[in-house]
Amino acid sequence: MLRNVLIAASLVFAGAAHAQGLHPLPPQPADAPWPTQDWQEAPLPSDVDRAALDLAVTEAFAGVHEQLGETRAVLVIQGGRIVFERYADGYTRDTRLNSWSMAKSVTHALVGAAVMQERVAIDTPMGHPHWRAGDRRASIPWRDWLHMVDGLDYNETAAEVAEAGNARMLFGDGRRDVALWAAERPLIHDPGTHWNYTSAGTILISDALTRAVVPDPRDATDRRNRMRAWMNTSLFERIGMRPVVEFDSQGLFYGSSLVWASARDFGRFGYLYLRDGVWDGQRVLPAGWVDFARTPGPDPNTDVYGAQWWLTPSSGPGLPDRSLITDTGMADAFSAQGHEGQIIVVVPSKDLVMVRLGLFHGGLDSWNALGDWSTRLIGAFGDRPAQ
């Protein structure tokens, strides 16, 4: 029965992708080695606009653009090889930096790995032990949680950081049991109808995923150790990532944040999605899972978010007020984004992944500046026709 549900879900993913007219995901070049152990490097391609690239790099590392803040790492992968890489003083290719909310995209991949193993079926209710029978929240399917249309009362964009839901959940009154804090949020919208960016929902996804993988932990330490081992064997080790993943006192990985990895490892993660969830000839994520990530959710009022990944609208400003990539000619780009300007941008039409890690203290103005900068840097690289 579960296998039939999984097959049906894969067909739904593929149908949604076809309906949206998604740009094809490029295959691995025949002459490019998979970067499981290390990345092969190559010179800048001949069609790069070097003046535009040099200007963007200077802005990033010379500190001349106040809104961009401090750039610590920039990595560009095209055609399966690193073609540009630079670090600020004090940082190297081995330095692990905080993902912040880029971890949400990692959680999407981990759920995909569980779907591959028939542990999860995303059109079934996700649930939480705190919700009793008859609680409407208990009937919300995994798909709605992944699309952030769960309908919970949660505010990620409070003007005062100390009052924002994410800060309270991770570092305030919810810090000892983040999943329970998230599960206590009431419903204020019909599930499946209203998009709201929510770390609480992703925390609940990580909790449900952990219960699916480790249903019978002896204690918090056992829960953490077994879940960490599963994440390594199901995802990280398969693509050569060596991250440090943080857990709370209940043995729960945060899911929405706090994955520490190098720019090259974040590049590997983006590269997995560029290659349609396949790595070195083996499928790591289900067929259609990447297309699910880059297809808009059911709320018609937003076209900038898929399933735990940010999208680029093909026209108009979208909602919320920003889209990272501002050139609609790169509408196929999708990205993992994190607090203070952490980004992994995947651009199938250019066969490219770009990673930027750093720090800024601004809000929308800084994100707009980062989006403009990212668009110009990525735009310096030529397109690669689909094969």
176: Cβ contacts below 8 Å, ≥ 6 apart: 248, 249, 250
Average pLDDT for 149-169: 65
At residue 165, does pLDDT exceed 50?
A: no
- Cα separation, 106 vs 95, in Å, equals 19
Alpha helices in the chain (DSSP H): 2-20, 50-61, 103-116, 142-147, 165-171, 178-183, 199-213, 220-231, 237-239, 263-274, 289-293, 364-379
Q: Which of 188, 191, 99 is nearest to 148 (CA)?
A: 191
At residue 326, does pLDDT exceed 90?
A: no
Phi and psi (nearest 5°) for 246?
-85, 150
Are the beta carbons of 116 and 167 closer than 8 angstroms?
no
- Letter for the amino acid at 239? I
At residue 5, does pLDDT exceed 50?
A: no
Between 173 and 251, the higher pLDDT residue:
251
Tokens of 113: 């790995």
- Cα separation, 128 vs 118, in Å, equals 19
Which sign, positive or negative, has the C-alpha torsion 86, 89, 94, 95? negative
SS3 of 56-80: the string is HHHHHHCCCCHHHCEEEEEEEEECC
Asked if omega into 317 is within 30° of 0 (cis), the reply is: no
Residue 175 pLDDT:
57
At residue 84, does pLDDT exceed 60?
A: yes
Are the beta carbons of 243 and 261 closer than 8 angstroms?
yes
What's the pLDDT tens digit per position in 199-220?
A: 999 999 999 999 999 999 999 9
* CATH class of residue range 2-379: alpha beta
- Cα separation, 239 vs 28, in Å, equals 14
Between 255 and 362, the higher pLDDT residue:
255
DSSP line for 117-165 = TTS--TTSB---TTSPTT-GGGG-BHHHHHHT-S-B---S--SSGGGSH
Query: What is the greatest pairwise CA distance in the chain?
Result: 62
Between 302 and 164, the higher pLDDT residue:
302
At residue 65, does pLDDT exceed 90?
A: no
Average pLDDT for 371-383: 97
At residue 178, does pLDDT exceed 70?
A: yes
Q: Which residue has the tokens 């106040």?
A: 66
- Letter for the amino acid at 283? R
Residue 339 pLDDT:
92
At residue 20, does pLDDT exceed 80?
A: no
Residue 323 pLDDT:
73
Is 153 exposed, middle or buried, given 0-12, 13-18 or 19+ CB atoms closer than 10 A?
middle
- Determine the 3-state secondary structure of 100 from DSSP: helix
Q: What is the pTM of this model?
A: 0.93
Radius of gyration of the chain (CA): 20
Question: Across the chain, what does the average pLDDT equal?
Answer: 90
* Domain range annotation of the chain: 2-379
